[in-house]
Amino acid sequence: MADQTQAQVVLPQRFIEAAQAHGERGLPPVERWNPPYCGQIDMKIARDGRWFYMGTPIGRPALVRLFSTILRNDDGQHVLVTPVERVGIVVEDAPFLAVEMEWSGESLVFRTNLDDVVVADAVHPLRFVLEPGGGLKPYVKVRGDLWALLTRSLAQALIERIEENGQGQSGIASGGAFFPLPEEAYA
């Protein structure tokens, strides 16, 4: 449970501007929509965050942002959902990339490649995945069950902030929560 006395998060101005531009109209209530599944379409979000339709990159950032607002994860299947239909798409790793990170008081603040701004806390946790070769991939939850993979430079900066919580676990503290590394990462 988050400490109610924690310091208030102060966002950098560029994060505020990105969030305002992205959230002027708010997000549609995709979690309340339950239309029929209409199959898979030829759309993909690549590991590097680029969106493709029928093998061609979608070059209009506003269109990608629009699609990202109707994206959700249904039990491991990424779908675009409207009130009348739901279609599957391919996501190679995570649907978002965390491209900027700032410390604000005791909290980590992230901006994604599509200008979502999230504070790592109990609602937007960090998670760490061990790669087969021994690397560590950090993610931050953006909304629903949609995650942002931290870019390599952000991951390196985050790893420099690893601390021990006093109970023998190594991890990151942010927003009144502690996010432990997998034990295999520091065993």
pLDDT of the residue at 8: 54
Q: In whole angstroms, give the CA distance from residue 99 to residue 103.
A: 14
Q: What is the mean pLDDT of residues 10-25?
A: 52
Least confident span in 99-103, 132-136, 143-147: 132-136
162, pLDDT greater than 60: yes
Which tens digit of pLDDT belongs to each residue from 53-89? Answer: 999 999 999 899 999 999 999 999 999 999 999 999 9
pLDDT of the residue at 186: 56
4, pLDDT greater than 50: no
Q: Which domains does the chain have, with CATH numbers?
A: 13-91 (3.10.540.10), 96-186 (2.30.270.10)
Least confident span in 2-16, 26-40, 41-55, 152-166: 2-16
Comparing C-alpha atoms, which of 116, 125, 120, 123 is closest to residue 95?
A: 116
Local confidence band at 2 (pLDDT 50, 70, 90 cut-offs): very low
Query: Read out DSSP for 81-142?
Result: E-SS-EEEEEESS-SEEEEEEEEETTEEEEEETT--EEE-SSSS-EEEEE-TTS-EEEEEEE
pLDDT of the residue at 104: 85
146, pLDDT greater than 60: yes
pTM for this predicted structure: 0.84
Higher pLDDT, 160 or 2: 160
- Average pLDDT in the chain: 86
